[in-house]
Amino acid sequence: MEVDKGKGEAEETRKVAEADRDTVTLKSSDGKLFEVSKEAAARLSTVLAGMIAGGSIDDNGTDLKQIGSEALENVVDYCNKHANSIPSAALISSSISFNTAPFKEPEEWERKFVDRLSHDALFDLVEAANFLGMERLLDVTCHKISEMMKGKSPDQIREVFNIKNDYTKEELEEIRQELAWAFYDD
């Protein structure tokens, strides 16, 4: 159903795209098609920018075999939202930029965008962003995941991410003692 709808939309927009070529069509690993503005794709993703510049964009849907449809949907959603947020971004940059850190804090809409995602969707999105060379999206998603780890004990982190403890008791004790400052501070 959703596939059909996506395809339908894609079909329609492809005609427009062929006319003035302002969108690209992306195809997920499970065959769903997504439209995204060419300008946004080229600006946000180094990989897509390279493909567009190199002419390797397939009008029938550029195959992205590494990316599942859910993740790709989020990627496209992010691109569209980013394109829409330009006015506000311009507004912000006209005031004093207070940011000194190499990482720019997520903007409000970016925060909302990642907050609604499940853990699994986040991890998929990280992989997709990594694959597509979307630096900002990668930063925002990784920042979100890192916030789930911040200030937590190793036990809590294992619980949140369902990680198996493969240390022996002695090894763990050794690490804790060696780096006691990180465990007993804060």
Partner 1 sequence: MSCGSIHALCDDSLADILIHLDAASVVRCRAVCRSWHRFATATSFLVAHAARRQREMILGTEHGLSRSAIVPPSLDLDMVAGDGHRYLFDPRPRAADGDGCIELCASLDGLLVLEQRRHCPYYGTCNASTYIICNPVTRQWTNLPALCPATVATGSRFFASVYGSYFHASSDEYRLLFGCVISPSEEEPYFCIVSVGRTLPRRLMSCGPLLDEDDRKCAMLCHGTLHWFNTGKGEIMAFDTVSETFRLISLPPVLGRTRVWRDLLELDGELSVAIMPNYVTLDIWALQDYDDEAAENGRWTLRHRLNVQLPPPPLLDNLGLPMMSLSVGSSAILIGFPISEARLYSLKENDHGVHREINFRGCPTFMVFSESLVHHAFFDLPRCPEISVRDVVSPRFTTASPWYVRTVYLLFFQFGSVHVHHVAKFPLRLSAHPTNVILPVRGRPSRPSAPVNGPNLADPSVPGEIHDCHSPWDPVESTPPPPSIGEYYAKIAPPTSPPPAPLNVEVGLGFVAGSRPHTDVTAVRPHVASQRPSRCRLSSRRREAVKEEEDQLERRGGKEEEDLLKVASACRQRW
Contacts to partner 1 by CB under 8 A: 29, 66, 68, 70-71, 94-103, 105, 119-121, 123-124, 126-127, 130, 138-139, 142-143, 145-147, 149-154, 157-158, 161-167, 172, 175-176, 179, 181-183, 185-186
Measured from the CB atom, the residue of 17 and 138 that comes closer to partner 1 is 138
Least distance in angstroms from the C-beta of 136 to partner 1: 12
Least distance in angstroms from the C-beta of 11 to partner 1: 26
Least distance in angstroms from the C-beta of 85 to partner 1: 17
Measured from the CB atom, the residue of 15 and 98 that comes closer to partner 1 is 98
Measured from the CB atom, the residue of 40 and 122 that comes closer to partner 1 is 122
Q: Could you identify the residue written with the tokens 């507004």?
A: 91
Least distance in angstroms from the C-beta of 135 to partner 1: 10
Measured from the CB atom, the residue of 21 and 183 that comes closer to partner 1 is 183
DSSP string, the chain: -HHHHHHHHHHHHHHHHHHH--EEEEE-TTS-EEEEEHHHHHHH-HHHHHHHHHT---TT-EE-TTS-HHHHHHHHHHHHHHHHTHHHHHHHHHS-----SSSPPPPHHHHHHHHTS-HHHHHHHHHHHHHHT-HHHHHHHHHHHHHHHTT--HHHHHHHHT----S-HHHHHHHHHHTHHHHH--
Least distance in angstroms from the C-beta of 113 to partner 1: 17
